Amino acid sequence: MSEPASRLPVPASRLPADQRINSDLLRPLMHTSWRFFLLLAVFGGIVLTAFVAWMSQAYRGYGVTGIRWPVYWGFYITSFVFWIGISHAGTLISAILRLVNAGWRRPVTRCAEVITVFALMIGAMFPIVHLGRPWLAFWLIPYPSERMIWPNLRSPLVWDFFAINTYLTGSVLFLFLPMIPDFAVVRDKSTGLRHSVYRMLALGWRGTPKQWHRLETAMQIMAIAIIPVAVSVHTIVSFDFSMAPVPMWQTAIFGPYFVAGAIFSGIAALLIAMAVLRRFLHLENYLHPVHFENLGKLLLMMALLWGYFVFNERLVTYYGNEPAEMAVFWRTQRESFAPLYWTMVVCNFVLPLVLMGIRRFRTITGCVIASFGVVIGMWLERFLIIVPSLGHKYLPYSFGIYRPQPVEIIIASATFAAMTLLYVLFAKFVPIISIWELKAGEHTPAVLVPPATEEHPLGELHL
Amino acid sequence: MKAVYGLYTDGQSAQQAVNRVRAAGFADHQITVLSAQPMEDYEFGQVDKATWMWRIACIGGLAGMATAFGLTWLTETSWPIDVGGLPIFAWWPNLIIIFELTMLGAILATVMTLVVTAGLGRSSALYDPEVSDGKILVGVEHPPDSALRELETALGAIPDAQVKTI
Amino acid sequence: MPKWGMAVDLDRCTGCGACVTACHAENNISTVGAEQAARGRAKHWIRVERYWEGDFPDVRLKFRPVMCQQCDNAPCEPVCPTYASHHTDDGLNAQVYNRCIGTRYCANACPYNVRFFDFFNPSWDKPLHLQLNPDVSLREVGVMEKCTFCVQRIKATTIQAKAEDRPVKDGEIQPACAQACPARALVFGDLEDPESSVSRLSRSSRGSKLLADLGTRPSVTYMARQS
């Protein structure tokens, strides 16, 4: 069969573009400046301080925290729920956008998946930090123990264990699998120790059509599997509250409310991460304003959804007019917690609506400001779910006020430093934008290209 | 002689090379094609698509479900403890455990299938680092000596080809 | 199988607090000091709740002793991840200190706030350490504790009765609070026995359960104050 080569337009070689992508996205791996070490020192120092604080809590006794009768959960559980919530960033962007074939997701997927994995790790640490006897945390693992007892599978905390571990395993794999072809690129472009390490990480990746098919099929299956897991994880975290007869806790809306809030805070965290990466790693050619605009619109939608859930929850409580619930209701809305409550409403609802709703403000800066507001607002929301209710249950003699102590403040705030530290380390060793996925965006999958004919050997592209 | 291959700058040249190698008498499973991204808009990028991965993922899910059933049933009935009057084997809470382990089973089965079928972890066969720069490699590993000359001609006939023999 | 319960006669209760002191003594509950108590760390397994109503000079004082209600439908039990909080066959909500890892979910779930956390390792100034009750284990930092209806006394008496091959008599088991109460406001006994005083008092027309509308089905009946 002769090739009518003279009749066909020769597609321009994409080699220069590919090489430019390689060098741009591999630059953070190949070149390290003093700023990296400074970041490491500063954030590492903060994380170390928090670790020392936790050790002092374990040594001196749990009483160094502000936990008291009857407010037995405070900053630690707030941070736990907050970070598990942030971890829903990756799932939304990576999995859902992958499944609906949204091309604009390509530079963004790995940033999002990294947030998921590290936020999960940080969040999963808090159930251990908040335990009275953390050295026995392993009793949550279902293993045949010499005490001949298994964990209580009917307890929401044990569901947490299963759900978070499943999600963590799934997310780590979901993150790692598409990194393999990129490790191969780094392997090819480096020498010496770096070459050996990345050769091991690349697992012998070559790039045959079979390998690409298997990888993409695996990613497809994982994307489908990880979405229900993510929904279940934060629903199960919400069960930590709704399974107890505490005023304003025992409500069926907590499941969807928490999941929506999680996706909301996840998108905000992603926007902040993207903006920082764009600025400091000079990724202006890869993370375009349109990416921020699209995510900003999603942020707006989630802000509206968040407002819907809050309205729902509060209206039903208001009409129920049950004395214990209304006492907590007014406590957050009018009394001692009102300043925090209304700050939360402004940060979570008013600010995103204004900044993301008005097109002129939907710039990268606008997105970052709205996102910071959402991160603060969502942390406050978790706090306002936990503490006002616990301090004001049913018997007035047993009401109490929670005052966070330095230990809790240090550990809770150091998690932000820990997240930044982990992210900086990751961006140093792995290309933060998925190289092959970015390039693959140019090659539309066969389903969009009709079969080739004699006149059109490549088929016609219809987008 | 270990391999003869050519490096091409774009998919169309690579497709032509593949067709020429086929015309030279080599079967599809003898032809190695390597690229830095999936090239599904070309015919050569469509080979080896059939996979059992979906089925294995479902089987993995079922295995996870069975494990969860076993875990909940055996652990809850081996030492029945009354908590708040809940049934010893309570369906509603156990469904959560069953769901999580089902999904975990599906995920792990998928990843294991990927590792096995994509040949990950095996020592690499034919490879050229220039593939990472966007070149597409088309070649034959361990060709018979008699077909060497014909192979080199076929691979080199496309403009801008780099033919190498190792 | 007996089902242990209590009846509290609020008409007889004077709010003297002898029950609180006796409970501390019997169950090796350490005092935490003024500063920690102000921070909400006191562990009064039974407490006398005090409410003031009205403005001066029409002030009325209401009080009632509150201890673990040993609920039949206890919200604290299903949520414990290690089965430290579970229900026994004789109707008690058991707290197994050795299984507790201190998640404090049970305390959050308890509507009566009768569960306490050990914030520090307990300590007694000498020579008070000599008065510790050998029948009750000490709890280390990080575990939850609460009223057990003096399970050590229940067990001791039942074992003694079994050894003597006779049933337990009504009023033979006296938790420390019931024993110490000078007004005999606290009555303990077997709710399965319709003739026991606690059963008869529970059926009193003055009787009600605390927070009954929550559906916890507590084993403690409070008889309303008449005056």
Per residue in B36-45, pLDDT (tens digit) is 888 888 888 8
Per-residue model confidence (pLDDT) at position A454: 59
Report the residue from B42, B123, B160 with minimal CB separation from A204.
B123
C-alpha closest to that of A124 among A179, A168, A155: A168
| Contact: A188, B132; criterion CB under 8 Å | yes
List the domain boundaries for chain C. Answer: 4-223
The average pLDDT across B117-130 equals 80
* Cα Rg of chain A, angstroms: 25
Fold of C4-223: Alpha-Beta Plaits (3.30.70)
Q: Do B85 and C75 touch (CB under 8 A)?
A: no
Which CATH number goes with the domain that contains B160?
A: 3.30.70
The shortest C-alpha distance from A407 to chain B (Å) reads 34
pLDDT of residue A452: 59
**How confident is the model at residue A410, as a pLDDT?**
96
Reported ipTM: 0.93
CB contact under 8 A, B131 and A169: no
The answer to whether A398 contacts chain C (CB < 8 Å) is: yes
Whether residue A177 and residue B114 make contact (CB cut-off 8 A), yes or no, is yes
Strands C4-9 and C186-190 come out as antiparallel
Determine the residue of chain A that is closest to C48 in CA distance: A397
Report chain B residues whose CB lies below 8 A from the CB of C86.
81-83
A109 alpha carbon, distance to own chain's centre: 11
Bridge partners (DSSP) listed for residue C116: C145
Contact C116 A61 (CB under 8 A): no
**Interface probe with B: pick from C87, C89, C219, most Cβ of B within 10 Å:** C87
| Residues whose CB falls within 8 Å of the CB of residue B55, separated by 6 or more in sequence, listed in order | none
C93: contact with B, CB 8 A cutoff: no
pLDDT (0 to 100) of residue C110: 96
Per-window interface: B 78-137 vs C, CB < 8 A: 81-86
Q: Which of residues 54-83 of B touch C (CB under 8 A)?
A: 81-83
What whole-number distance in Å separates Cα of residue A61 and Cα of residue A113? Answer: 37
**A73:C108 CB<8 A:** yes
Chain B residue with Cα closest to C79 = B83
Which residue is closest to C84 within chain B, CA to CA? B83
> Do residues B61 and B107 both lie within one domain?
yes
Give all chains having 3 or more CB-to-CB distances under 8 Å with chain A: B, C
Query: What are the tokens at C128?
Result: 């008070």
Query: Minimal CA–CA distance to A390: which of A258, A245, A259, A253?
Result: A245
Distance CA A431, CA A186 (A): 9
Nearest chain C residue (CA) to A135: C101
Cβ of B37 within 8 Å of Cβ of A440? The answer is: yes
Nearest to C143 among A71, A132, A396 (CB): A132
Q: Quote the minimal CA–CA distance from A78 to chain C in Å.
A: 14
pLDDT score recorded for residue A149: 92
Gap from C79 CA to chain B (nearest CA, Å): 8
How does the average pLDDT of chain B come out, rounded?
Answer: 88
Peptide bond into C127 cis (omega under 30): yes
pLDDT, tens digit, 9 for 90 and up, residues A359-403: 888 889 999 999 999 999 999 999 999 999 999 999 999 999 999
Q: What is the pLDDT of residue A219?
A: 93
Q: Judge whether C87 is closer than 8 Å to chain B, CB to CB.
A: yes
Residue C46 gets the label, from left (phi > 0), alpha (psi -120 to 50) or beta, of beta
Contact A62 C108 (CB under 8 A): no
pLDDT number for residue C29: 95
The C residues from 81 to 120 touching A (CB cutoff 8 Å) are 81-83, 99-105, 107-109, 111-113, 116-120
Find the closest chain A residue to C142 by CA distance. A132
> Hunting for tokens 């997310």 — which residue is that?
A171
Distance from CA of A292 to the nearest CA of C (A): 40
Q: Which residue among A139, A154, A246 sits closest to C108, beta carbon to beta carbon?
A: A246
H-helix segments, A391-430: 406-429
Q: Chain B interface, mutation test: which of A8, A106, A154, most B Cβ atoms within 10 Å? A: A154
Say what the pTM is: 0.92
CA C46/CA C17 separation, integer angstroms: 9
3-class secondary-structure state, position C174: coil
Domain range for B69: 53-117
Q: Is A157 on the interface with C (CB under 8 A)?
A: yes
Contact C75 B82 (CB under 8 A): no
Reported confidence tier of residue B118, pLDDT bands at 50, 70, 90: confident
The subunits that touch chain C, with at least 3 C-beta pairs less than 8 Å apart, are A, B
What CATH class does A49-141+150-437 carry?
mainly alpha
- Which candidate in B5, B21, B37 is best for mutational testing of the A interface (most A CBs within 10 A)? B37
pLDDT digits (tens, 9 = 90+) for B96-108: 999 999 999 999 9
* Pairwise CB contact (< 8 Å): B120 & A204: yes
pLDDT value of position A447: 53
Name the minimum distance, in Å, from the CA of C32 to any CA of chain B. Answer: 31
Tell me how far apart the alpha carbons of residues A121 and A84 are, in angstroms, rounded to a whole number: 9
User: Dihedral of CA C108/C114/C117/C120: which sign?
Assistant: positive
The alpha carbon of residue C109 is apart from the nearest alpha carbon of chain A, in Å, by 5
Which of A145, A148, A153, A461 is most worth mutating to test chain B (most B CB atoms within 10 A of its CB)? A153
Rounded Cα–Cα distance for residues B84 and A38 (Å): 54
Q: Which long-range contacts (CB under 8 A, 24 or more apart) does A251-256 make?
A: A251/A313, A251/A316, A251/A317, A253/A309, A253/A312, A253/A313, A253/A316, A256/A309
If you count residue pairs, one on A and one on B, with CB atoms under 8 Å apart, how many are there?
Answer: 213
Q: Do B84 and C83 touch (CB under 8 A)?
A: no
**C70 contacts in chain B (CB < 8 Å):** none
B95 to chain C, minimum CA–CA distance in Å? 16
Q: Looking at the partner chain, which of C39, C103, C118 has a beta carbon nearest the beta carbon of A131?
A: C103
Give pLDDT < 50 ranges for chain C: none
From chain A, pick out residues whose CB is under 8 angstroms from the CB of C145.
Answer: none
Contact between residue A116 and residue A96 where contact means Cβ atoms under 8 Å apart: no
The helix/strand/coil state of C85 is strand
Domain co-membership, B107 together with B74: yes
Contact C74 B84 (CB under 8 A): yes
How confident is the model at residue A7, as a pLDDT?
A: 44
Q: Which of A70, A130, A139 sits opposite C113 (nearest CB)?
A: A70
* CB-CB neighbors (< 8 A) of A158 in chain C: 81
C212 contact A CB<8A: no
- Name which of A61, A127, A244 is nearest C109 (Cβ-Cβ): A244
pLDDT in tens, chain A (463 residues): 444 444 444 455 667 777 888 888 888 888 888 989 999 999 999 999 999 999 999 999 999 999 999 999 999 999 999 999 999 988 778 898 888 888 888 888 898 999 999 999 999 999 999 999 999 999 999 999 899 899 999 999 999 999 999 999 999 999 999 999 999 999 988 888 989 999 889 888 988 999 999 999 999 999 999 999 999 999 999 999 999 999 999 999 999 999 999 999 999 999 999 999 999 888 888 888 988 999 999 999 999 999 999 999 999 999 999 999 999 999 999 999 999 999 999 999 999 999 999 988 888 999 999 999 999 999 999 999 999 999 999 999 999 999 999 999 999 999 999 999 999 999 999 998 888 888 887 665 555 445 555 555 554 444 3
- Quick one: which of A392, A308, A99 has its CA closest to A219? A99
**Residue A453: per-residue pLDDT:** 58
C-alpha to C-alpha distance for A153 and A142, rounded to whole angstroms: 9
